Chain A
Amino acid sequence: MSAVLVVIEHDRGHVPEATLEALTSARSIAGGLGLPVHAAAMGEGAEMVASQVGEYGAEVIHHLTSPNLGDYNPEAWGQALVGCVSSESPAVVMASGTDRGNELMAQLAARAGLPFVANCVDVAPDVSSMTRSQWGGALHEEATLDAEIKLISMAPHTVEASPGPAAGRVDEIAVDVDDSLVRSVIRDRVVLSEGITLSTAPVVVSGGRAVGSEEAFAPLEALAEELGGKVGCSRAVTNNGWRPHADQVGQTGTRIAPTIYIATGISGATQHWVGAMGSKNILAINTDPEANMVTKAGWAVIADLHEMVPAITEEVKRRKG
């Protein structure tokens, strides 16, 4: 039976918000095609995802099984998807345009010899044309996709995830995964920080070149801590070695989506903006009222960040009492 098949990107049973967004997009695409939404999940913890995936609209969850499927493994998971696609012949296969989502779709595309259109922001009802993001979202491309089975990923934050319950029936499919592909499995994990991260923080306090030094980030750390948030930075900062690259917000860093992004001393070059534009609110603190970040932000203070950031921290502390 034909369907719109969503690849469930999960980490040992934990389904990220991005996959729920993909399921939400899949419901509208499937509605246009008059097809049901199905899902494919595999590997360690796959049996835990069914109720959540059903809640977001999957009629059927294909649980792909093989002795060679365990923890995340892009090659083995990609080959398992080929097995699912050949047995189910979906009209569309889609995932979220995250690291794992795009990687799995590309693995499937390579193995099935199919084209794959990454990071769509809008898809025509028949999925034969779409708008996709280039330059991390700074540019849009209108594209056509001519293939019997259409492979796409949706750019993260294109839609807000919303539930739309469906049956969520689990159907086990045994798939072939070559022994040789075990080579690409996760062997180990290194946990560097517990709790919130840059991509999940409700508040991100970020600094740009104007911060001036590694040490000068201390007041930003203090404010972030008061607000239960994380510190981010621009590419200029990581290029100067003031902060680790893991803190970089931007096209080649992290895409953030906090409740509020406090951007201090950041001019707002395109490559930074595309990482920050998913923020629900933006407050720019800058001495230059014409800075790109200021003109694109919902709120701004025209001030020197070195004075302003401690002043905000003081006021927060005062009100907390």
Chain B
Amino acid sequence: MRILALVKRVPAPGARINITEDEQHVDDKNLGHAISPHEECGVEAAVQLIEQYGGDATVMSMGADVSEEQLRAAVSVGISKMVLVPTNGSPKDPQATASALVAAIRELEEQDGVFDLIIFGNESADQGGFQVGIRVAHELGRAMVNGIKGLEIPDGQDGSGDGHIVARREVDAGFEVYELPLPACVGVKEGINLPRYPTMKGRLASKKAELVSLAVEADADAHANGRQAQTRLKSPPETATETVILGDGVDAAPAVVDLLEELGVL
């Protein structure tokens, strides 16, 4: 099976988000970085499928040169090849990002053959455009479903050729089940698996692995029908909350239940 996992470098989730003075970027100089959480699970999903069905997995990121750190992190948990599509510091909108990724994927597939499965994150943790994977899949003419929290290969198949992949999407009360013909694309969500930690051997391998840099351009007509552009970033308006302390310790239980009664939930 040939798998491609797409990842994005983002400030590690959970941190307080500050904005640079020019209001154009997240001020990340004091923040640690990570693979965007859904995509970290996409890397794990790729590694698990390769362990089960054989083949090789590639990780690709479009971004600044420092994204090498996240590519090597993916190699340290079992991905065999890594590709950086450099942006030279200029972040791109979803149309341009998708267009450049398509060019890069076509080049990789021309060299080594079609990817049976391309795994995206459902949305990036930072910009959250909810569309790059869908645009890429459409351009490549492949089936695509987003929001996937389960992947399996049907019995008797090996995840390649003209087989299928069963993809499960979590909804409110259970799962929707899709069966996509390969080659296919999916957007996965955190919770599809629990990503593993790298082993010492994995860490050493990731240090030695070769980084392939693939400079591609977005299609000149990517914006033929219009574009979106960021003007500035700002903090959401804070709704000032006056916290009412109902008490200290178990003596506050009656006050809590008074509140529940008042809100009509009891």
Using CB atoms and an 8 Å cutoff, list the residues of chain A in contact with chain B. Answer: 11, 72, 74-75, 97, 99, 102-103, 105-107, 109-119, 121, 129, 131, 133-148, 153, 183-194, 197-200, 202-203, 227-229, 235, 238-239, 241, 244-246, 248, 251-253, 259-260, 269-272, 281, 283-284, 289, 294-304, 307-308, 311-312, 314-316, 319-320
Whether B14 sits at the interface, judged by CB under 8 Å, is yes
- A144 lies within 8 A of B228 (CB): yes
Contacts of B90 in A (CB 8 A): none
Asked if A246 and B228 make an inter-chain contact with CB atoms under 8 angstroms apart, the answer reads no
Specify which of B26, B236, B244, B264 is in contact with A300 (CB 8 Å cutoff).
B244
Tell me the smallest distance from the CB of B157 to a CB of chain A, in Å: 15
B194 contacts A142, C-beta separation under 8 Å: no
Q: Which residues of B contact A118 (CB under 8 A)?
A: 123, 128-131
B111 within 8 Å of A (CB atoms): no
- A133 near B191 with CB under 8 A, answer no
| Per-residue contact bits, chain B 26-37, to A (CB 8 Å; 1 contact, 0 not) | 100000000001
Residue B168 lies at the interface, judged by CB distance under 8 Å to chain A: yes
User: A99, A281, A283: which has the most chain B beta carbons within 10 Å?
Assistant: A99
Chain A min CB distance to B221 (Å): 8
Question: Could you say which of B26, B127, B243 contacts A294, with CB atoms under 8 Å apart?
Answer: B243
Shortest Cβ gap from B174 to chain A (Å) = 4
Looking across the interface, which residue of chain A has its beta carbon closest to that of B168? A190
B212 at the interface (CB under 8 A from A): no
A129 touching B126, Cβ below 8 Å: no
How many whole Å from B62's CB to the nearest CB in chain A?
Answer: 17
Main secondary structure, interface of B, reads mixed
Structural contact, A270 and B256, CB atoms closer than 8 A: no
A319 with B257, Cβ < 8 A, contacts A144-B228, A189-B174 known: yes
Does the CB pair B257–A238 fall under 8 Å? no
Say whether B263 faces chain A, with CB atoms less than 8 Å apart: yes
- Contact check: which of A183, A283, A308 meets B181 at CB < 8 Å? A183
Instruction: Report how far A116 CA is from B226 CA in the complex, Å.
Output: 10
Contact A140 B235 (CB under 8 A): yes
Sample of 20 further A-B pairs with CB below 8 A, known A118-B128, A139-B235, A252-B191: A106-B135, A109-B135, A113-B225, A115-B226, A116-B129, A140-B236, A142-B230, A190-B168, A190-B175, A190-B177, A229-B265, A248-B191, A252-B13, A252-B37, A260-B265, A271-B14, A296-B243, A299-B243, A303-B250, A314-B253
With A111-B138, A197-B173 as given contacts, are A245 and B190 in contact (CB-CB < 8 Å)?
A: yes
Q: Is B21 an interface residue when CB atoms closer than 8 A count as contact?
A: no
Across the interface, A301 reaches (CB within 8 A) one of B16, B129, B225, B247, namely B247
**Any A CB within 8 A of the CB of B220:** no
Give Cα A253 to B14, complex, Å: 13
Query: Taking the nearest CB of chain A, how far is it from the CB of B20, in angstroms?
Result: 12
Query: A115-B95, A294-B243 given as contacts; is B146 within 8 A of A99 (CB)?
Result: yes
Partner of A315, one of B176, B180, B253: B253
Q: A186 contacts which chain B residues (CB < 8 A)?
A: 176-178
List residues of B whose CB falls within 8 A of some A CB.
13-17, 19, 26, 37-38, 93-95, 98, 122-123, 125-131, 134-135, 137-139, 143-147, 149, 168-181, 189-191, 194, 223-236, 241, 243-250, 252-257, 259-261, 263-266
Residues of chain A lying within 8 A (CB to CB) of residue B230: 141-143
B178 near A139: Cβ-Cβ < 8 Å: no
Nearest Cβ on chain B to A83's Cβ, whole angstroms: 16
Give the interface SS of chain A, mostly helix, strand, loop or mixed.
Answer: mixed
Residues of B with C-beta under 8 A to A142: 230-234
**Closest Cβ neighbor of B19 among chain A residues:** A139
A227 (CB) vs chain B CBs: closest residue: B265
Report the minimal beta-carbon distance from B90 to chain A, rounded to whole angstroms. 17
Query: Are B170 and A312 touching (Cβ within 8 A)?
Result: no
A17 to B: closest C-beta gap in Å: 11
Cα distance A241–B165 when bound, in Å? Answer: 26
Q: Does A115 lie within 8 Å of B177, measured CB to CB?
A: no
Check if B228 sits within 8 Å of A115, measured CB to CB: yes
Asked whether A281 and B243 contact (CB < 8 A) given A139-B235, A235-B14, the answer is no
Contact of A139 with B17 in the complex, beta carbons under 8 Å: yes
In angstroms, how far is the closest chain A Cβ from the Cβ of B118?
14
A135: which B residues are within 8 A, CB to CB?
Answer: 17, 125-126, 128
User: Which residue of A148, A194, A314 contacts B225 across the interface (Cβ within 8 Å)?
Assistant: A148
- Taking A110-B134, A187-B177, A227-B265 as contacts, is the C-beta distance between A246 and B170 under 8 angstroms? yes
Instruction: For the complex formed, measure the closest distance between the CB of B63 and the CB atoms of chain A, giving whole angstroms.
Output: 16
> Roughly how many angstroms separate A188 CA and B175 CA in the complex, as a whole number?
8
- In the bound complex, do residue B172 and residue A112 qualify as a contact, i.e. CB atoms below 8 Å apart? no
Q: Would A188 and B134 count as touching, CB distance under 8 A? A: no
CB nearest to B248 among chain A residues: A302
Docked Cα-Cα span, A272 to B252, in Å, equals 25
A sample of 7 inter-chain contacts (CB < 8 A) reads A103-B147, A107-B138, A146-B228, A239-B194, A252-B189, A253-B190, A295-B241
| A134-B225 contact, Cβ under 8 Å, with A308-B250, A312-B257 | no
Give the 8 A-B residue pairs with the shortest CB-CB distance, closest first.
A147-B226, A245-B191, A106-B131, A110-B138, A188-B177, A102-B130, A192-B174, A106-B134
